[in-house]
Amino acid sequence: MTNTLHRFGSAESFVDDYVIIAIPAKGAKDRGDPLPALRRFLEIALEYNPVNIGDAMHGGATRPTRHTNPIEHFGERPTKPDFETVIEGADAPTTFSAVFDKRENAEKFVARIKDENLGLSVNISSSINNALDCCQKAGLTRHSVGYSLGFEGIPDNDPNRHALMLSTMCGHGMISHAFARKAIDFVRENRRTPDEVIAGLSRFCSCGIFNPSRARRIIEDARKKNF
Amino acid sequence: MPAAAFSDKDAVNPLKSPDEIGMKINPEKCVACGNCTYVCPMGAIYIDPVRFKATINADACVECYACYNGLSREVLPPRTVRATRRAMAKLLMRFEPDPDICPTSAFEPDELSWPRVVRRAFSDPRVPHESTGIVGRGTEEVKTNDVTNRVGVGEVGFTIEFGRPGVGAWFHEIQEMSRALALIGVAFEKKNPVTSLMTDSATGDIRPDILNEKVLSAILELKVPVERVEEVIRTVWEVEKRIETIVAIGVGTRCDENGDEKVVAPILERLGYTLKRAKTNLGLAVKRPDNLNSTQTKTEKAGA
């Protein structure tokens, strides 16, 4: 369950990365069915312009395509997130997430979730200061904190840092380092647009915590810089 | 000693050898486009230069199903694609489907038997662990601490993760760590999937029949008094030098009544860590009595 915690990057690289998670405590059966509250969590998130939402059973807002006819090969594939599909498909209590790229949206969402009183455990996975700011704006005191000490032995200036920043945005490890590297190279060579490769990367994230805005910034950074 | 999380019943399929069990690439469908070689998190897929087919290195494969679940699927006719590729190659051109597509839907999962099934349980995030009943490789840690109070005041919960990013971990490597931690007398989290695979949680010994199984990642979880934080971290440092996989440490603790955390962070910083990222439990799980019916009412309204 450390799937959002260990994201590679400096504290500054999380400036546009707010992963907000709602989770019902396992075994807390006396608290009733948590699914309505979890769905409500996602519905409220849509009011604050998330860049991704998802649940751990079905995935995020950009999912793999499944063709049934060869002709579909010649059509365009969607690169924009489909939030409604996520909400409609949420049929079991698990970890639900909403990802924001703007501080004000994340802060307003946290304040709203506090007011909604959903009865769920809610966590912010981001830089420590981002989370503190959200709490302060919402008038919340932190209950617990889980620090990431990072990947032992991998320095911030690793020559593969851009690919690592992309691949570790799926904490389940479903986005391979080689694919992240290929996505960067495809953009550098102008063979694919950032939107196209970001959609491709997002499709591998199995719970919707991939941040496409941060990915775009990383890819643009990698496109222009020499390693 | 915790009960085993996985059952041995029907463990061995007598009709199949170990090499025949697991994720497969149908050679009749594969057109050797090479897309899958990039998306495999373990780099376990390659184009065989003799067969001209994508091939899975079964030893390196962790059955994460990223290829099967993550690749988009098209249904192009394999023969047509092969002919097109050959013709384009003669013109020094290349067939280039989107990089996250298997153009012929060539991946075919197969039933896994013991002990290989352990690989998938730890590597495919959509497969719930029988031991925890939740999707994931560990427990809820401090994410539900506002309900469970698993990590109390003066306590620290550790998550020691192996295998990410992109290298995987063998259970014999994990055992090296669990044994070292057991030697200093820490108690492993009982509901954690790795703990449930230990034959003796007091020694950190893991079932011998899975020691040569590889997983995408796995997590050891334990809880100690705050005074032992440095001892645990120094033990992890010592072991991680001896094992080939990569280790990532998570440290969870309670905040004080003001929401501050001024006990554990200074210890971690003194050990040389620059604290950047964390997950913060907002303590919202306890419903306030002034608004108990808000969820039901608003959800009903939304659906009306």
Q: Report the alpha-carbon distance of residue B43 to residue B137 in Å, rounded.
A: 21
CATH number given to B125-270: 3.90.1170
Does A148 reach chain B within 8 Å, measured CB to CB? yes
Partner B contacted by A217 (CB < 8 A): no
* Bridge partners, A125 (sequence order): A19, B279
User: Where does residue B46 rank: exposed (0-12), middle (13-18), buried (19+ CB within 10 A)?
Assistant: middle
Q: Kind and range of the H or E element at B58?
A: none
If pLDDT is split at 50, 70 and 90, which confidence band does B13 have?
A: very low
Residues of chain A with C-beta less than 8 angstroms from the C-beta of B125: 3, 56, 172, 174, 206-207
Q: pLDDT at position B216, please?
A: 96
For residue A146, pLDDT over 70 is answered with yes
C-alpha to C-alpha distances, A198 to A8, A209, A213, B44, nearest whole angstrom: 17, 13, 9, 23
Phi, psi for A14 (deg, rounded to 5)? -100, 15
A5 to chain B, any CB pair closer than 8 A? The answer is yes
Mapping DSSP to helix (H, G, I), strand (E, B) and coil, where does residue A144 land? strand
Q: Which of B40, B100, B293 to mutate to test the interface with A (most CBs of A within 10 A)?
A: B100
Q: Which amino acid is at B252?
A: G
* Domain definitions of chain B by residue range: 23-108, 125-270
Q: pLDDT band for position B12 (50/70/90)?
A: very low
Enumerate residues 6+ apart whose C-beta is below 8 A from A190. none
Could you report the predicted ipTM of this complex, rounded to two decimals? 0.93
> Checking phi first, is residue B247 left (phi over 0); if not, alpha (psi -120 to 50) or beta?
beta
Number of domains in chain A: 1
Are β-strands B187-188 and A121-127 bridged in parallel, bridged antiparallel, or unpaired? unpaired
- pLDDT per position as a tens digit, A43-71: 999 999 999 999 988 999 999 999 999 99
pLDDT for residue B149: 87
The packing angle between helices A194-204 and A212-224, to 10°, is 130
pLDDT above 90 for A38: yes
> With an 8 Å Cβ cutoff, are A152 and B246 in contact?
yes
| Interchain pair A117, B292: CB under 8 A | yes
| Average pLDDT taken over every residue of chain A | 93
Q: Which fold has domain B23-108?
A: Alpha-Beta Plaits (3.30.70)
Exposed / middle / buried, residue A159 (Cβ in 10 Å: 0-12, 13-18, 19+): exposed
| Spatial contact of A107 and A35, defined as CB atoms under 8 Å apart | no
* Mean pLDDT of all residues in B213-237: 97
Amino acid at B62: V
Sign of CA dihedral B77, B78, B82, B83: negative
Q: Is A207 helix (H, G, I), strand (E, B) or coil?
A: coil
pLDDT at B52 exceeding the cut of 60: yes
**Would you call A36 and B295 a contact, using CB atoms and an 8 Å cutoff?**
yes
pLDDT value at A27 more than 70? no
Q: Poorest-confidence range of A27-41, A102-116, B172-186, B247-261? A: A27-41
- Chain B contact present for A69, CB below 8 A: yes
Q: Which residues of B touch A36 (CB under 8 A)?
A: 295-296, 299
Is the pLDDT at B8 greater than 50? The verdict is no
- Which pLDDT does position A26 carry in this prediction? 63
Position A3 scores a pLDDT of 77
pLDDT at B301: 38
CA distance B73 to chain A (A): 5
Contacts 24+ apart (CB under 8 A), B42-48: B42/A176, B42/B166, B42/B168, B42/B214, B42/B216, B43/A176, B43/A178, B43/B166
By C-alpha distance, which of A211, A17, A215 is closest to A126?
A: A17
List, in sequence order, every residue forming a beta bridge with B107; answer none if it has no partner.
B25
- Taking the C-alpha atoms of residue A190 and residue A194, their distance in angstroms, rounded to an integer, is 9
| Contact yes or no for B166 and A37 at CB 8 A | no
Q: Show residues of chain B in contact with A174, CB under 8 Å.
A: 41, 64, 66, 69-70, 125
Is the distance from CB of B250 to CB of B139 less than 8 angstroms?
A: no
Side chain identity at B133, as an amino acid letter? G
**Sign (positive or negative) of CA dihedral B12, B13, B14, B20:** negative
C-alpha distance from A104 to closest chain B C-alpha (Å): 18
Residue A142 to residue B163, Cβ atoms within 8 A: no
Percent of chain A with pLDDT over 70: 95
When scoring B65, B284, B287, B291 by the number of chain A Cβ atoms within 10 A, the one with the most, hence best to mutate, is: B284
Contact across the interface for B140 and A65, Cβ inside 8 Å = no
What are phi and psi for residue B260, nearest 5 degrees? -90, 160
Q: What is the predicted pLDDT for the residue at B20?
A: 61
Partner-chain contact A150 B273, CB within 8 Å: yes
CB contact under 8 A, A173 and B70: no
Query: CA angle at residue B86 from B80 to B90, to 5 degrees?
Result: 145
pLDDT digits over A179-211, tens only?
999 999 999 999 999 999 999 999 999 899 999
Structural domain includes residue A171: yes
d(CA B270, CA A165): 26
Beta-carbon separation of B295 and A140 below 8 A: no
Q: Minimal CA–CA distance to A59: which of A31, A19, A87?
A: A87
Cα atoms in the 13 Å half-sphere on the side-chain side of B291: 15
A150 in a structural domain: no
Of B161, B240, B282, the CB nearest to A122: B282
Residue A151: inside a domain: no
In the predicted model, is pLDDT for residue B141 greater than 90?
no
Residue A88 counted as domain residue: yes
Q: Do B141 and A146 touch (CB under 8 A)?
A: yes
| Contact criterion met (CB < 8 Å) for A117 and B139 | no
Size of interface A-B (CB pairs under 8 A): 351
- pLDDT at residue B147, as a whole number: 87
Tokens of B26: 């149908």
In the predicted model, is pLDDT for residue B117 greater than 80? yes
Residue A4 forms part of a structural domain: no
Q: How confident is the model at residue B136 (pLDDT cuts 50, 70, 90)?
A: low
Q: Which of residues 106-135 of A touch B (CB under 8 A)?
A: 110, 113-114, 116-128, 131-132, 135
Residue A147 lies in a domain: no
Contact A120, A23 (CB under 8 A): yes
The pLDDT confidence band at residue B298, using thresholds 50, 70 and 90, is: very low
pLDDT tens readout for residues A75-102: 999 999 999 999 999 998 989 999 999 9
Residue B130 has pLDDT above 80, yes or no: no
B233 neighbors B249 (Cβ within 8 angstroms): yes
Q: Which residue has the higher pLDDT, B190 or A32?
A: B190
Question: In the prediction, which pLDDT does B111 show?
Answer: 87
Rounded CA separation B108/B54 (Å): 13
pLDDT of residue A48: 98
Distance CA B94, CA B87 (A): 9
Residue A205 lies in a domain: yes
Is residue B296 scored above 60 in pLDDT?
no
Confidence of residue B14 (pLDDT cuts 50, 70, 90): very low
Contact: A113, B284; criterion CB under 8 Å: yes
Task: Quick: pLDDT tens for B244-286.
Answer: 999 999 999 999 999 999 999 999 999 999 999 999 999 998 7
User: How far B205 CA lies from chain A's nearest CA (Å)?
Assistant: 23
